[in-house]
Amino acid sequence: MRIGELAERTDTPPRLLRYYEEQGLVRVPRAANGYRDYDERLVDQVIHIRGLLEAGLPTRIIKQILPCLDDPRDIHFADATPEIIATLEDQRDRMTQRIDLLTRNRDAMTTYLESLRSCARPS
């Protein structure tokens, strides 16, 4: 598939897809005509990369663990060094802090919306 189709299917700008390639997060072979040939498997991989980035993981960490993520529900890393484990634990703890903050913000917004609705004039 071409970059435009991958971009549309993953809701990822083409420029960002090229960045992922530059960072070594995705590998894209070239067709005989020189165009990049985006494989179907990249759809899930790009969505997974975006999820990890949105969770706060830096690309250098994603690059290290991505080859070991055959299935998002089955994460395994056979030869993890103590440094990698410490880094991942730190990233996990940061995610937990972000989740807690987002949960508090969501709950505050829900309370505010409930207050607005109770004070709103009927349409």
**pLDDT of the residue at 76:** 57
**pLDDT of the residue at 66:** 80
- For the domain spanning 1-75, the CATH number is 1.10.1660.10
**pLDDT of the residue at 55:** 82
State the DSSP code for 68.
G
Which run of H or of E encompasses 18?
A: helix 14-22
Q: Give residue-wise pLDDT tens across range 34-91.
A: 888 898 989 999 998 998 888 888 888 888 778 776 555 555 556 677 887 888 889 8
Given a contact cutoff of 8 angstroms between Cβ atoms, the answer to whether 56 and 62 are in contact is no
Give the three-state DSSP class for 71.
strand
**Cα separation values, 28 from 19, 23, 31, 49, 51, Å:** 12, 12, 10, 15, 20
Whether the model clears a pTM of 0.75, i.e. scores above it, the answer is no
β-partners of residue 30 are 36
Tell me the pLDDT band of 93, cut-offs 50, 70 and 90.
very high
β-partners of residue 36 are 30
Q: Give residue-wise pLDDT tens across range 26-39.
A: 989 888 888 888 98
The segment with the largest mean pLDDT, out of 7-16, 23-32, 59-68, 114-123, is 7-16
How far apart CA 78 and CA 57 sit, in angstroms, is: 20
